[in-house]
Amino acid sequence: MNELKWFAWLFPLLFIVHDMEEIITAKNWCKKELHQIIPLPITPFGNTKSTAGFAVAVFEELILWILATLLGNITGFYGLWYGFLAANIIHLILFHMIIFPLSYRRYVPGVVTAWLTLIPFCYIFYLAQTVLNYSVLQIALWVTIGFLLALGNVKLLHNNIDLLARLTGE
């Protein structure tokens, strides 16, 4: 379990590495490249033109990942952390490696670090499963809970990104 305590912190650290690429590149990309070749019901970054609004949303997500990591390291209960980690891996693969690149057919912010962080994320997930030894039912439960909570949170943030931008004064 001690090994997992250290590795658990790699989740929020790698998350912020990935999202920094998005924060740095999203505003200019949205201004120039937000025309999709294949129309989707969703757009990256909540269709924002605000770096500050997007950065606040990323900060809120980071706080959630840190709290889940703290909960796991303090109590030994890693279920929520495990689910959030799985949701992040699904997000990287589904959106940054498949849907957005196919839809836009050009660089989409986050694609480079999605590829660079996927292997470490998968290794952390593998290590966690080895240490926690969750059953198939537990894996399904925590992955479902983590995915639904993360999806709901991202949807809420995307729907309110302009409000988040106004809170920063932008």
> Domain range for residue 121?
2-167
Distance CA 83, CA 73 (A): 15
Give 49's contacts (C-beta < 8 A, 6+ positions apart): 27, 30, 31
For the question of whether the overall pTM of this predicted structure is more than 0.85, the answer is yes
Q: Residue 64: its pLDDT value, please?
A: 97
Separation CA 96–CA 93 (nearest Å)? 6
Query: Does residue 49 register a pLDDT over 70?
Result: no
Spatial neighbors of 63 by CB under 8 A, at least 6 apart, are: none
125-160: b (≥16 Cβ within 10 Å) or e: beebeebbebeeeebeebbebbbebbeebbeebbeb
Q: Domain tally for the chain?
A: 1
Q: How far is CA 45 from the centre of its chain?
A: 12
Confidence of residue 43 (pLDDT cuts 50, 70, 90): low
